[in-house]
Structure formats: structure tokens, C-alpha cells
Amino acid sequence: MKHFTLLFAFLFIGLTSCKLNKKAPIQKEIVLNKLWETDTLMKTCEAVRYDKVKDVIYVSNMGNVPTDAKDGDGTMSIISTEGKTLNQNWVTNLNAPKGSNYYKGKLYIADIDAIIKIDIKSGSTEKIIKVENSIFLNDLDVDTNGHAYITDSRDSKVYKLVNDEVSVWLDLKGLNPNGILVEKDRVLVVSFSKGDFIAIDKNTKEQTVIATGIIKGDGIVPIKEGYIVSTWPGEIFFVDKTQPGVPAIKLLDTQEEKLNAADIGIIPDKKILLVPTFYGNKVVAYKIGYK
């Protein structure tokens, strides 16, 4: 009887294991296939943002170096989803525009120590919101309520903009936060200095490491399987949302080509990744595929 019981137990475990394995999804390898690139007129392009309403892409051009100079040579361009330039100098007289996002007809842009509010219909600057004590505002994202979150990568702070009023949301001392992505209940940030990709609970401010090994992290975009994260020197990584805390998987490396990968964007419905190449002065698009 004892032997029969053990045999039954082993058979039960084996059958259960087989059943679970059949249900377990097979993770396909994500690959990036180049689709197109713009001309090289995007002077020091740092960030891109797809506007689903207008079906166009906004490009932040920082202009001449140094990139933190208040020299007024920064611009915003508009390109099509096929990489054609629609308006090279849509917005001018900016200093060093970087991360941006839109809400109800307004585009918000991080620009050194101010947030620039643009009326999308006219392309005119509606308001300049100074951020006191900020040093180098970098990336920006907007939630469904129209609240903007902005990183200061040189002062390790995250600011929050509500009704055109800005305040410090969180001090991330030593992290040097760069790329930012706002979700419903949390804010995701990638570090420029530590290589960590973290999630911050909106209510408790509790921090969780999602992935490691992303040195000089720059941009973040969401995909079904997790996230794609870029690094300024020219690397692009995949972060599997089902395996938090593990090293990210490298998808692309353009460092030998001397092409940076700054604040990336995405056209989600077409699964197209948009990469601003900074000193490469162009935007490159990749189809997100599988093998």
C-alpha cells in the first residue's frame, strides 16, 4: 500500500507538471528591425514623442553645444510617422528642449530650468513655468489627469506640475533620474548614474528595482511584454515585466556607429520604436518584432 501511494503521488506530480508546462507561455525573443531614418537636420535631437491625436511625431532639438546653455537655439520639429520632415522649426527660441508630452491640446517640454507650455494648434509658447532651484530638467511625462512629472538628472529630483504650479515630488538623492514613465499607480524612472530601473509607488513613494545593468539610462517606453529602455551612449534594452530585479536584455548597440539612443518614443499601434540619436542629428525608427 505504501509503495502504491508513493507511485500515485509521483504520477500526480508528473501529470500536474506537464499540465502546467503546457499552459506556460513561451517567451519569444524581441528584435528590432530598422524601418527608416530622417535627414540629419535634427540638431542634437534628444527626445521624441508620438501624438496619437495628430498622428505626428514631435522632436526636441537641443541645438548647439554646450547642451545646458541658455542660448535660445533649441527647436521643436514635427515629422511624419514615415520619417518625413513636416515642420523643421515648428517651435523656436527654446534653450535645450528635452522630454515632452501633451494633454488636451497643450505640449509640455522640459527645458533646463523651466517647463514650456506650447499650444499645439498654433505652435506658440503659451507659458514658461520656471522651476526654482532646478539644474537640468530632463525627461517629462503626463498622467491621465494632466499632471506632469519631470526629472532633474543633475539634482536627482522628480518634480510634479499641477495646474501650472510645480513642486518637488520626490528627492532621489544619488540616483540621477533621467527617463520617466508615469503609470496609473506608479512612476517609473531609469537612473543615469547607477544603472537601475525603478518603480515608485505614487501614494507611498516606496521604491522597487525592476531591472539593473542599464548604465546611463535615458528613455523608457512600455510594450505588452514589459519595457524598452535606452541608454544615452547608444544601447537599447528590454525589461521583462514578469521578472523584476533581473538584468535587462540588450536588443541593440549603436555605439560603434557613434549613434546615441536618447529619450526614445513609440508608436504603439504599429509597434514602432523611435530613437533620437542626439549627436547623430536624426531620428531612426525600428519595427519591434519577434523571433
Arithmetic mean of pLDDT, 39-58: 98
If one compares 78 and 1, the residue with the highest pLDDT of the two is 78
The answer to whether residue 4 scores a pLDDT higher than 50 is: no
pLDDT at 28 (0 to 100): 77
Residue 286 CB burial class (10 angstroms; 0-12, 13-18, ≥19): buried
Residues with Cβ within 8 Å of residue 179, at least 6 apart in sequence: 99, 138, 139, 151, 189, 190, 217, 218, 219, 220, 229, 230, 263
pLDDT at 282 (0 to 100): 98
pLDDT tens-place string over residues 216-267? 999 999 999 999 999 999 999 999 998 888 899 999 999 999 999 999 999 9
Residues with Cβ within 8 Å of residue 221, at least 6 apart in sequence: 181, 227, 228, 264, 265, 266, 273
Band (86; pLDDT cuts 50, 70, 90): very high
276 domain residue, yes or no:
yes
| Alpha-carbon span 107 to 140, nearest angstrom | 11
| Alpha-carbon span 8 to 19, nearest angstrom | 16
161 domain residue, yes or no:
yes
240, 225 Cβ separation under 8 angstroms: yes
Arithmetic mean of pLDDT, 103-111: 98
Residue the block writes with cell 505626428: 56
Domain tally, the chain: 1
For the chain, the first-to-last Cα distance in angstroms comes to: 50
Q: Which domain, by its residues, includes 83?
A: 34-290
185 domain residue, yes or no:
yes
The answer to whether residue 78 scores a pLDDT higher than 50 is: yes
107 domain residue, yes or no:
yes
241 domain residue, yes or no:
yes
6 domain residue, yes or no:
no
pLDDT tens-place string over residues 165-207? 999 999 999 999 999 999 999 999 999 999 999 999 999 999 9
Residue the block writes with cell 527608416: 36
- Give one DSSP letter per residue of 211-223, joined into a string: EE--TTEEEEEEE
Arithmetic mean of pLDDT, 106-125: 98
Q: Angle CA(116)–CA(271)–CA(267) in degrees, nearest 5?
A: 20
Arithmetic mean of pLDDT, 106-131: 98
The answer to whether residue 20 scores a pLDDT higher than 80 is: no
Secondary structure of residue 155 in the 3-state scheme: coil
| Alpha-carbon span 103 to 249, nearest angstrom | 32
Among 63-67, 95-99, 127-131, the range scoring the smallest mean pLDDT is 63-67
Q: Which of 80, 61, 81 is nearest to 72 (CA)?
A: 61
pLDDT tens-place string over residues 159-176? 999 999 999 999 999 999
184 domain residue, yes or no:
yes
Q: What is the CATH number of the domain that holds 215?
A: 2.120.10.30
**pTM of the full predicted structure?**
0.90
Q: Which of 137, 154, 57 is nearest to 96 (CA)?
A: 137
pLDDT at 27 (0 to 100): 60
10 domain residue, yes or no:
no
